[in-house]
Amino acid sequence: MLGLVERCQGQVRVAGFGQIIGLDYGAVLRLADLLGLNMKIVAALLPFAEAGFIEGMKQLQDQNDRQESHGNA
């Protein structure tokens, strides 16, 4: 599942100001199907993988924001 999410990290849904709000499930599920993955398992795990992906992206953004604020001070 991690490999699938890593391959799809550019397939995201974006809100205003570029905020990532989720994965593009259509693209993720299509790739999972092409890779021959068990779609029932992917469908069950995808919301959890998406939550971890979003949390990781938020942490990276927070880290970048802190670095920028220290650089501008």
Confidence (pTM): 0.76
So what's the pLDDT on residue 72? 60
Q: How large is the average pLDDT for residues 43-62?
A: 91
Residue 73 confidence (pLDDT) above 60: no
Q: Percentage of the chain with pLDDT > 90?
A: 45
Q: How buried is 23 (Cβ within 10 angstroms: 0-12 exposed, 13-18 middle, 19+ buried)?
A: buried
Q: What are the C-alpha distances in Å from 25 to residues 32, 56, 57, 71?
A: 10, 18, 17, 37
* Cβ atoms < 10 Å from Cβ of 12: 17
**pLDDT tens column, 3-15:** 888 888 888 898 9
Residue 43 confidence (pLDDT) above 70: yes
